[in-house]
Structure 1
Amino acid sequence: MAGNTSLVDFELVQQSDEQIFTVQVLVMIFLCINLLLITTFFQKQCFYATTRYILFAVSLLSDSLLLFLSDILLLLANYNVVIQVWLCVIICVVTLVYTTVTPVTLTAMTLERYVAVCMPLRHGELCSSRNNVNIVLFIHALSSVPCIVILSTIFGSASLKFYTQFQLCAVEFLFIYLWQQHLRSAISQFYFLIMLITVVISYVKIMKVAKAASGEDKQSSRKGLRTVALHGFQLLLCLIQLWCSFIEAALLQIDVVVFYHVRYFNYILFYLVPKFLSPLIYGLRDEVFFHALKKYVSFGLYKGNNIG
């Protein structure tokens, strides 16, 4: 198995204490900011009754959980802590699902803006409080499909004894055959292609509405256009993360030392930084959410915009 043959070499490589400390500081900053944004979300009833804020909260929770688990895996790998494969499978299931939840949620947020701008008369019906739970459930169901397919190939090719073995935990180490990595790549690229097409089509249609609109409608359309552009940028960052995993999987077969250092570099630049910036940017650029955040941070002293 690819994972077992790489394990001995993998144990020879460790990041420096300074590198690990840097990651922990970044992770703590990100989680604290996310906790602040999530707490602000629950401060106002208008937030958890509005679809776009609910989807924003879903993305925050998804990124926080994913970052926490990935940091745990990073620490386990760096200090050569092995765990049983069955436990690793559970961790990887959650990781795989929520790796997909974030871009799917961004796509759903794009569609919500598309409906708000291009189909304003149906926005209240499609994005009602009754449908919000269904939307969140559908996002998670759709995000679980790639994980189910990948896991079915692992369960079908591994014996029961495999799950009682001890090894370092990473999704790549669970693949027994190379075609399983190719299947994961194909499914991920298909998902991202569909999501990218959805964002581009929504952007084009909103742009047409923005050109034809006037007055307040034109201002609202332009704001929706900027929001969709931001979601497209965030989706692009998710796509870069996807390519990183493919490059790392190839490097693992060639040189485990290079694999380890490239993975650390990718983790900082394409994983931590985007997850640090994108929720903060989205939370600050929304006027209603920004005023609520300022009021919460100032312990109620800020009276700028009394909402909800």
Structure 2
Amino acid sequence: MTNNSSLSGGDLVPRRITIQVIIVQVLVIIFLVINFTLIVTFFKNENFITTTRYILFALTLLSDSLILIMTDVLLLLSFFQITMQVWLCVIISVLVYPYYKITPVTLTAMTLERYVAVCMPLHHGELCSMRTTVHCILIIHGLSAIPCALILCTFFATASLSSYTEDRICSEEMFILYKWQDHVRSSVQQAFFFIMFIIIVFCYFKIMKAARAASGELKKLTNKGLRTVVLHGFQLMFCLTSLWCPLIETAVLQISFKLFIDVRYFNYIMFSLSPRCLSPLIYGVRDEQFCFALKHYILSGFHNRKIGFPDK
């Protein structure tokens, strides 16, 4: 989506492009306001900032918010045909692109946390301590940086020194100079998400097995964990589908440029913006404690720090 404007020509009515950009701005603002409200709710409560699943949830909110802001900025730069030198785009990419992967990797970590809570409750306190959570966050960032590092390494190995001072519209496609680089990128990303999807499926069946053997309150907990894992898998599928979007867009471009713009716009809304609102849906609405705290702070104007949670 970041280079839509650079591709647009006389086939596209400027007014139509303006309407599309305005729609994106409205959606981005709505999602950022929701995320900001949830982030403030997280930091206002001591119970949340010491619990692993809420810390990981806050991590997804922060990374999603950063991605929303940066993709929106790149979209506007592209819309107004503002270019930058390649070296500057490389720096931006190093800082931003790893956060594209942080959300799915964190979702996998959150799924493993639910697996430990349901299937290994006696070890949950030890395995999900604050120290372990900090190490987990570092591992998440390290794993998320792998695809970006591979893309940039192949670019550094093939790009000439003079290309770093060229003015271009900043986008990920700018680093793909040869077709084999695109194949490497797709292979790494799909292997990346395939491993995460296998982990989520494994946790789903383990929790489902525990749910069948449980009874009473434990059965209620396992069923809730099972639904959470399903939602994590659904959100991960959104991220996986976005990997196939460039292939679809390339094929559509051979048919019609106007159709290509429409498809790319749809893909951006559906597979880039939409997944960013699923995390608030999963924990901001479904989680009883977080939902209670959110309502409390909204009604009180975020002035009170301590609240009493309802019994589970």
Q: What's the counterpart of residue 69 of structure 2? A: 68
Q: What's the counterpart of residue 280 of structure 2? A: 279
Q: What's the counterpart of residue 241 of structure 2? A: 240
What do you get for the CA RMSD once the two structures are aligned?
Answer: 2.5
Q: What's the counterpart of residue 297 of structure 1? A: 298
Indicate the SS of the match to 1:298.
helix
Please state if 1:128 is matched with 2:129: yes
Q: In the TM superposition, what is the alpha-carbon distance from 1:10 to its structure 2 partner? A: 4.8
| Segment drifting more, 242-251 vs 33-42 | 242-251
Q: In the TM superposition, what is the alpha-carbon distance from 1:255 to its structure 2 partner? A: 6.2
Q: What's the counterpart of residue 220 of structure 1? A: 221
Give the conservation status (yes or no) of the 8 Å contact 1:11–1:80.
no
Alpha-carbon separation, structure 2, partners of 1:253 and 1:108:
40
Alpha-carbon separation, structure 2, partners of 1:28 and 1:303:
26
* CA-to-aligned-CA distance 1:180-215 (integer Å, 9 cap, x gap): 111110001001110110000100000000100111
Q: Which structure 2 residues correspond to residues 1-308 of structure 1 after superposition, within 5 A?
A: 10=8, 16-249=17-250, 258-299=259-300, 306-307=308-309
Q: In the TM superposition, what is the alpha-carbon distance from 1:11 to its structure 2 partner? A: 6.2
Provide the TM-score with structure 2 as the length reference.
Answer: 0.90
* CA-to-aligned-CA distance 1:51-82 (integer Å, 9 cap, x gap): 00000001111111111111111111111111
Distance 1:230 1:25, change over 3 A: same
Alpha-carbon separation, structure 1, partners of 2:268 and 2:9:
19
Letter in 2 for 1:58: L
Distance 1:135 1:249, change over 3 A: farther
Provide the TM-score with structure 1 as the length reference.
Answer: 0.91
Structure 1 gap ranges (5+): 1-5
Letter in 2 for 1:92: S
Indicate the SS of the match to 1:290.
helix
Letter in 1 for 2:219: K
Q: In the TM superposition, what is the alpha-carbon distance from 1:16 to its structure 2 partner? A: 2.1
Distance 1:69 1:11, change over 3 A: farther
Distance 1:251 1:155, change over 3 A: farther
Give the conservation status (yes or no) of the 8 Å contact 2:64–2:103.
yes
| Segment drifting more, 108-117 vs 270-279 | 270-279
Give the conservation status (yes or no) of the 8 Å contact 2:152–2:175.
no
Identity over aligned residues, as a percent?
Answer: 55
Q: In the TM superposition, what is the alpha-carbon distance from 1:124 to its structure 2 partner? A: 0.6
Indicate the SS of the match to 1:16.
helix
| Segment drifting more, 251-260 vs 289-298 | 251-260
